[in-house]
Amino acid sequence: MASLCILRAFLDRAFKSQPMPRISRRAHEVPLSPFRKLVPFADKAKEKGTHVYHLNIGQPDIESPSPAWAALRNNRETILAYSPAVGKLSYRRKLVDYYRSFSIDLTPEQIVVTTGASEALQMLLFACFDAGDEVIIPEPFYANYNGFARIADVVIQPVTTQIEDGFSLPRLAAFRQKVTERTRAIMITNPSNPTGSFYDQNDLAELAKLVREKDLFLIVDEVYREFCYDDHSFYSALRLAGLENHVIVVDSVSKRYSACGARIGAILTRNEQVLESITRYAKLRLSPPALGQIFAEAMLEMDNQYLDEVAREYDRRRMVVYQRLKAMPGVLNYKPGGAFYCFARFPVDDAEHFCRWLLESFSHEGSTIMLSPGSGFYATPGLGQDEVRIAYILNEQDLHRAMDCLEIALQEYPKVKAEIHSTVD
C-alpha cells in the first residue's frame, strides 16, 4: 500500500510538471460575471446549513406556464431533429402576431430565432462590428455585454447614468460626445437590466436623432417589455419612423415566461443585410433548440392572463424592495420603472467585500442574502464600488426575510470593519 501511495505521488508530481499549451489571451481577458462570481461562497454557506436568499440573478421563482409543459409532454415527434437555422416557421409566424399586439409590424422573414438573447447579442456584435469598432452603452449595463464585447474585440464607450435620478437616460449631448469614427451603434436595454429604468417614446426619439445623423445602428434589448410599472406604456424601437435599416431588437422568452432554461431568443430587424449576415451565423451553428421552440410556441398560444398576473406580482415585489430599502439608514435607492431589478447605494466603501462577507461570515436566523456587486455593471473603472444590484425575483414573504437580513447586516458590518481595522493597527 505504501509503495502504491509513493507511486501515485510521483505520478502526480510528474504530471503537474509537464508543459501545457497556452490558452488564448481572449480567454484570460473575458471578465467574470458579477452575478455568478460569488457562487462558490454561496455554496460554502449552504454547506454550513445557512439558507441563502438569491437576489443576485434574474432567475424568477414563478412557475413556467403549464400549457407549455403540456405541449412538451404531448409532443408526438419521434425524432428530435434540427429545426431550420432561423427557427421554425410556425413559431416565427406566431411571433409576428405577438409583436403586432405591441404595434410592431414584421414578417416571419424578419425574425431569426436564437439560442437565448445571449447568442443574439453575440451574433449581432460579429455581424455589425469589426475588431476595434465601438458601441455606446449607458452604464450601468447588463454585465455580460462586457464579456460579449471582449470576445468580439468591440470597444464599449460608456455614457454614465446616475442613481440620484434613477439612472434616467442622459441628454443627447452626452451620447454625441462619445461618437468617434469607429462608432457603429448605440445599445440600450429597455426596460433596463440592471437598473430597472424605463425609456419612453421621447427618450427613444432623442436617440433616433443621433442614429440618423451619424448613420448608426440602434440595438435595443427588449426582453422585459411586459414588465412596465406606474402607467408606463412600452414603446418599441421598431416603431421609430425612418429607422428601418438602423433598428435591431433582441428578445427572449426567458424572463417573460419564467423559462430561462428554454434558451429561446430572437433577433428582429428590417435590415436585409443584417438578416443575411445573421443567417450565415445561424447556419454555422445549425439550429436553435428544438424542444425550446415547442415550449415557446405553446406559450404564444395562451391568452394574456398569465403575463398580466406575473406583471402584477413583480410590481408588488418591486414595492416591497423599494419601501424596505428606503427605510434603511444610509441607503440610497429609487423606484424602478420596469423589469425586476434595481440598484442601491449602501453605506459601505467596498460592496464586493460586503457581498462576500454576507456569504462567508453573516447570518440572521440561519439565513443570509446574495447580491451582485455594482462595479461589474460598469465599464468605467472605479464606479459602482458602493452599489449593488438587487433582483426582486422571490415571493413577497421571502423578500421581506431577505430585507430583514440586509437591514441587520448593514447595522453589523461597520462594527466588523472597525474590528478588522483595529486588529491591523
CATH number at residue 361: 3.90.1150.10
pTM equals 0.92
49 in the same domain as 30 = yes
For residue 5, being part of any structural domain is answered with no
Q: Consecutive 10-residue runs of the chain (425 residues): their mean pLDDT?
A: 55 62 82 79 96 95 96 94 97 98 97 98 97 98 94 97 97 97 98 97 97 98 97 96 97 96 97 98 97 97 95 98 98 98 97 97 97 96 97 97 98 82 54
Residues 130 and 185 in one domain: yes
Does residue 3 fall inside a structural domain? no
Do 79 and 51 lie in one domain? The reply is: no
For residue 262, tell me if it sits in a domain. yes
**Does 9 reside within a domain?**
no
Say yes or no: 380 and 352 in one domain.
yes
Specify the pLDDT at position 28.
Answer: 79
Backbone angles phi, psi at 181, to 5 degrees: -70, -15
Whether residues 133 and 88 share a domain: the answer is yes
> Can you give the residue range of the structural domain that contains 191?
66-300
Residue for grid cell 467585500: 353
Closest among 363, 364, 403, 370 to 41, alpha carbons compared? 370
CB neighbourhood size of 204 (10 A): 22
Amino acid 23: pLDDT: 84
189 assigned to some structural domain: yes
Q: How buried is 246 (Cβ within 10 angstroms: 0-12 exposed, 13-18 middle, 19+ buried)?
A: buried
Q: Are residues 71 and 53 located together in one domain of the fold?
A: no
3-class secondary-structure state, position 266: strand
